Structure 1
Amino acid sequence: MASYYNEIDPYAAQWLRNLIAENLIAPGDVDERSIADVQPSDLAGYVQCHFFAGIGGWSLALRLAGWADDRPVWTGSCPCQPFSAAGSRKGTADARHLWPQFERLIRQCSPSIVFGEQVTSTDGREWLAGVRADLEALDYAVGAADLCAAGVASPHARQRLYWVADTDGRHAGTEGLQRGREHGQRAQDHQDFEGMGNAESEPLRRSRQPWEPSITIECDDGYRRVGPTTLAMAHGIPNRMGRLRGYGNAIVPQVAAEVIGAYLEARAA
């Protein structure tokens, strides 16, 4: 069964199509319209729906966590710019505050499970409190965790709020998600994360990590560790800005896989 990907950026949308063609994320269709134009009838027949899909990080994370492509789920990483400390901090007054549109579709379609992510900041936490209230009003149980990329051995922090909403309160909650903090290793046990990762998620010895080797580069504000294929911007490197834009708006799939895995463990318990 096909998945639905909603992504308004044409560059990222084509990236999604390329990844689908290579079977690196779940097969499906890419819709470049604004989420404001998406109607419940447009989603009929899709088993998985990914909003603000970016470059497919949630689909990859689901695979890494052992979530089958034909198992129903919704995901959505609402734009962080209105709530980021690095932005203008207009909050809910920002036109990019699109949670109300995501909530509209959740309310009308009633997916059983929804995963999401938002920037960790004072404004981001206030945003999450509002999201939790909206979802609980729709009879969802909601759990969340504050996690960073370094927790899965990535050479950067990228602190983010991850949340899950479930229509059965026995299957969600912060207690289950906290397990992702405690063992934080599942994502390291999969093979070859080069590019967008390996769709097969075959086991790998723990000595190998997806971020090795990393390199240190000197920047105006000090030194930073980056992956060997993510070099500083320079003239003559093709598609440089497009790649950085895609990476900058992406989740870290290995962290999201920990959240999904913690949810699955809580459900199994």
Structure 2
Amino acid sequence: MTAYYNEIDPYAAQWLRNLIAAGHIAPGDVDERSIVDVQPDDLKGYAQCHFFAGIAGWSYGLKLAGWDDDRRVWTGSCPCQPLSSAGKQKGHLDERHLWPAFFSLISECRPAVVFGEQVASPIGLKWMSAVRSDLEGDRYACGIASVPGFISGSPQQRQRLYWVASSNSAGRDGLKKPDQQSAAGSDLSRRDDIDGRRGSFWASAIPMEGADNTRRLLSPGIKLLADGLSEGMGRLRAYGNAIVPQVAAEVIGAFMDA
């Protein structure tokens, strides 16, 4: 087994096992314990360690970027609920603020590369500032970019802060700066740009009008949720917490080029 997946939600954990069995992500073990219970010795022997693994967005993004399964890397998208505009925004005071537990494992195990992601809100930026301070204080070079889903052709904004920490870089100047034209000024950054999906994973998506008169792009055959909503909450929660793997692949690819 080359990968370790840490995911506390049973539904998402089983989803991970299904993806492993199907060969879509790196083979590995799924640990359903809270990250606060994970010890450094538990991670010995694994090339990849994915925390807050969800439905394997980071693992799949690594594959899309051409990262070998046996090449060492850690990933982690810490819970955004303490920072989300939909929550109470308690930030560091929220019990779901789990960066300290993640950072403790990073500091102890010293992975060469760590990728992460967080919401691109004002409180998310504040969170990222503290994360960067911790990492650079522990001799990691850290690069950050605010990237929308549009750059990979995704029919959603999903603006996120993507970050990478490297223990082997001389400093921040060793990391490539994001392509400002792609991330901010291109046609892919426009919410209403349907043509921007050409050649992308979402090229076959079709527009549908919701009850709130909002247009959504769905894959053919996907039904809008209505009756039986409670039965689909596991999937809905998993999708809502997921990153866009194709965007993660762009970030990973930029780091590999650098």
Superposition TM-score, scaled by structure 2 size = 0.89
Alignment of 1:1-150 (within 5 A): 1-150=1-150
Report the equivalent of 2:160. 160
The residue matched to 2:239 in structure 1 has which SS?
Answer: helix
Report the equivalent of 1:243. 235
Shift in alpha-carbon separation, 1:178–1:219, aligned structure 2, 3 A: same
Shift in alpha-carbon separation, 1:207–1:226, aligned structure 2, 3 A: closer
Alignment of 1:213 with 2:204, yes or no, is yes
Asked whether the equivalents of residues 6 and 31 of structure 2 are also in contact (C-alpha less than 8 Å), the reply is yes
Q: Distance in 2 between matches of 1:172 and 1:28?
A: 32
Asked whether the equivalents of residues 151 and 183 of structure 2 are also in contact (C-alpha less than 8 Å), the reply is no
The residue matched to 2:82 in structure 1 has which SS?
Answer: helix
* Total equivalences in the alignment: 245
Q: Distance in 2 between matches of 1:161 and 1:251?
A: 11
Provide the identity percentage: 58
Moved more, 208-217 or 248-257: 208-217
Deviations 1:55-84 (A, max 9, x none): 001000000000000000000000001111
User: How far 1:214 sits from its partner (Å)?
Assistant: 2.0
Shift in alpha-carbon separation, 1:181–1:118, aligned structure 2, 3 A: farther
Shift in alpha-carbon separation, 1:235–1:221, aligned structure 2, 3 A: closer
User: Match of 1:41, as an amino acid?
Assistant: D
User: How far 1:180 sits from its partner (Å)?
Assistant: 8.3
Q: Distance in 2 between matches of 1:211 and 1:6?
A: 29
Asked whether the equivalents of residues 144 and 174 of structure 1 are also in contact (C-alpha less than 8 Å), the reply is no
Report the equivalent of 1:227. 218
Q: Could you list the runs of 5+ residues in structure 1 that have no partner in the other structure? A: 185-205
User: How far 1:160 sits from its partner (Å)?
Assistant: 0.2
The residue matched to 1:30 in structure 2 has which SS?
Answer: strand
The residue matched to 1:117 in structure 2 has which SS?
Answer: strand
Asked whether the equivalents of residues 145 and 174 of structure 1 are also in contact (C-alpha less than 8 Å), the reply is no
Q: Distance in 2 between matches of 1:174 and 1:151?
A: 23
Deviations 1:227-268 (A, max 9, x none): 2255321115795222111111101000000000000111xx
Deviations 1:168-207 (A, max 9, x none): 23475585141486489xxxxxxxxxxxxxxxxxxxxx95
Report the equivalent of 1:263. 255
Q: CA RMSD in A?
A: 2.2
Alignment of 1:253 with 2:240, yes or no, is no
User: Match of 1:135, as an amino acid?
Assistant: L
The residue matched to 1:45 in structure 2 has which SS?
Answer: coil
Asked whether the equivalents of residues 148 and 183 of structure 2 are also in contact (C-alpha less than 8 Å), the reply is no
Q: Distance in 2 between matches of 1:250 and 1:10?
A: 15
Q: Could you list the runs of 5+ residues in structure 2 that have no partner in the other structure? A: 185-196
Alignment of 1:168-207 (within 5 A): 168-170=168-170, 176-179=176-179, 182=182
User: Match of 1:252, as an amino acid?
Assistant: V
Shift in alpha-carbon separation, 1:180–1:60, aligned structure 2, 3 A: farther
The residue matched to 1:169 in structure 2 has which SS?
Answer: coil
Q: Distance in 2 between matches of 1:34 and 1:166?
A: 25
Report the equivalent of 1:202. none
